[in-house]
Amino acid sequence: MILNERDARHEHVLRVARQMMTAARTAPKGKGMDIVEVAMVTEEDIRLLSDIMVTMAEEKQLKFFLRDAENILNAECVILIGTRERAHALNCKHCGYDTCEERPEGVPCAINSVDVGIAIGSACATAADLRVDTRVMFSAGLAAQRLDWLNGCTQVMAIPVSASSKNPFFDRKPHDQQPAKS
């Protein structure tokens, strides 16, 4: 039997993505409180995510959402990492307020933000170790947050994953310089 890499690539990328999700789950968390959620988006849901990003580009007047919406269509899958809002009662002032009680509704606990960042770093390091391409995307994460794919999570970030001859998530042209689709 001969197995061409091109025929095995998709399943390999999905296997790596699952390992990325495990790496995000096992990443250190503030006070040991696990409020991080992780999921993988594939197939037609990537198209839905892209469509929402296009809508958000128009609403927010942010052209990079258009570029990123086109870009994630080159992904085999997209990993989502977000956090549930929970103050850690440390009164650390990292959020800009003297105490956790003074922090207004909607202002994220800084420790939650750090937890998401560490989980993202752990997931991306796993991808790099296994030689698949990624890019962290705020835009796709915000679209996934709008879709509530991580059920009430805030600060959602997205990581498209690919394995091709060139990383499709870097050296990108702004959307207004993209070639027209036929």
Angle at 182 between CA 68 and CA 10, to 5 degrees: 55
Residue 164: per-residue pLDDT: 87
State the average pLDDT over residues 151-177: 83
Cβ count within 10 A of residue 8: 11
State the average pLDDT over residues 137-143: 97
Radius of gyration of the chain (CA): 18
Q: Tell me the per-residue pLDDT of 62-93, one tens digit each, with 9 for 90 and over.
A: 999 999 999 999 999 999 999 998 888 899 99
Q: In the structure encoding, which two tokens stand for residue 131, read together?
A: 């030689």
Residue 172: per-residue pLDDT: 61
Angle at 79 between CA 49 and CA 109, to 5 degrees: 95
Is the pLDDT at 107 greater than 80? The verdict is yes
Per CATH, is 27-169 categorized as 3.90.1150.10? no
The pLDDT-based confidence of 98 (bands split at 50, 70, 90) is: very high
pTM across the whole model:
0.89
The pLDDT-based confidence of 182 (bands split at 50, 70, 90) is: very low
Is the pLDDT at 173 greater than 70? The verdict is no
Residue 115: per-residue pLDDT: 94
Q: Tell me the per-residue pLDDT of 121-133, one tens digit each, with 9 for 90 and over.
A: 999 999 999 999 9
CA 91 to chain centre: 28
Whole-number percent of the chain with pLDDT over 90? 73
Q: What is the DSSP string of the chain?
A: ----HHHHHHHHHHHHHHHHHHHHHHS--GGG---EEEEEEETHHHHHHHHHHHHHHHHHT-HHHHHHHHHGGG-SEEEEEEE-----S----TTSSSSTTTSPTTPPPHHHHHHHHHHHHHHHHHHHHTT-EE--BHHHHHHHHHHTTTTT-EEEEEEEEE-SSS-TTSSPPPGGGSPPP-
Tokens 């990108």 map to which residue? Answer: 172
The pLDDT-based confidence of 179 (bands split at 50, 70, 90) is: low
Whole-number percent of the chain with pLDDT over 70? 93
